Amino acid sequence: MNLKDQSKIQDVAIIMDGNGRWAKNRSRPRIWGHVRGASVVSKIAESASDLELNSLTLYAFSTENFSRPDQEVNFLFKLLDKFLIKEKQKILKNNIHFRVIGKFDFLSEKTLRKVRELEDLTKDNTGLKLRFAFGYGGRAEIVEACNTLISKNLKASEENISKHLYDEIINIDLLIRTGGDQRISNFLLWQSAYAELFFTNTFWPDFSSQEFQDILSQVSTRERRFGGIHTSSETEFQKENQTHL
Ligand code: FPP
């Protein structure tokens, strides 16, 4: 694969931040921001599917989010349940391969059943790989992978760790964060090693398909070198650097 092919944006991840502030600006409770945020999830997943991206991974609930008030935490669990009911047909119609990644066994049996059912129904779909990171932490994911290697008596190598992560998507091309903060917050630490980063001030409930497409176009023009350099040939390199070699 040449550098040009590698540069194509195919695997995208989003930290969907700013729901609370969006609601506060409208004198509404924080959870209203999450409700509006959930409808944006549906629109952006549809755009990602239309744009024929390989994958879209969304940070819906981090391990750190447990420190929020119980009511907000429980509301987010319910929102996931509702999302699974509401979006099921659209996910099936669009040939989307759906999975939840993380340690989410704290969810109710009822929700877990819906997750498993949708994962199972879509497992052979060949369209967009849509991932919900729920109960997800990047460090925990790497630690779990290492512990599995130890239990299997395998040595730690990049290849072996990659194979034992929660999911098959091991390289993210673009990581977007909405809401104005510029940090990664323990999201896809291994997978984002060479990701392009894009931070927007837009709060998640205001994030639109148009902005999503604009970000993709803008980032596609960035030169991605993956630690290499762009020279047309060995000979050209020698010519340019001759006096110092
Ligand atoms: C961060 O905004 C957002 C979350 C912790 C949850 C993300 C959830 C959604 C976008 C709703 C969709 C989820 C499902 C399960 C369908 P924040 O509350 O930290 O915002 P703030 O930084 O303005 O307080």
- Asked if residues 139 and 66 have their Cβ atoms less than 8 Å apart, the reply is no
State if residue 118 touches ligand 1 by the CB under 6 angstroms criterion. Answer: no
Q: How many structural domains compose the chain? A: 1
Question: Binning pLDDT at 50, 70 and 90, where does residue 81 land?
Answer: very high
Residue 236: its pLDDT value, please? 73
105 burial type by CB count under 10 A (0-12 exposed, 13-18 middle, 19+ buried): exposed
State if residue 79 touches ligand 1 by the CB under 6 angstroms criterion. Answer: yes
Q: What is the pLDDT of residues 83-134, one digit of tens each?
A: 999 999 999 999 999 999 999 999 999 999 999 999 999 999 999 999 999 9
| Between 5 and 166, the higher pLDDT residue | 166
19 Cα to the center of ligand 1, angstroms: 5
Q: How far apart are CA 4 and CA 170, in angstroms?
A: 19
Q: Which domain holds residue 174?
A: 3-244
Among the listed residues 11, 25, 65, 70, the single catalytic one is 65
Q: How far apart are CA 174 and CA 46, in angstroms?
A: 18
The reported pTM is 0.91
CA dihedral 150, 151, 152, 157 (to 10 degrees): -20
Q: What is the pLDDT of residues 171-220, one digit of tens each?
A: 999 999 999 999 999 999 999 999 999 999 999 999 999 999 999 999 99
State if residue 84 touches ligand 1 by the CB under 6 angstroms criterion. Answer: no
Q: How far apart are CA 176 and CA 211, in angstroms?
A: 11
Here the tokens at position 217 are 């176009």
59 Cα to the center of ligand 1, angstroms: 8
State if residue 17 touches ligand 1 by the CB under 6 angstroms criterion. Answer: yes
23 Cα to the center of ligand 1, angstroms: 11
* Residue with CA at minimum distance from ligand 1 atom 7: 60
State if residue 204 touches ligand 1 by the CB under 6 angstroms criterion. Answer: yes
Question: Binning pLDDT at 50, 70 and 90, where does residue 227 land?
Answer: low
Looking at residue 166, which CATH number applies to its domain?
3.40.1180.10
**Residue 201 identity (one-letter amino acid):** N
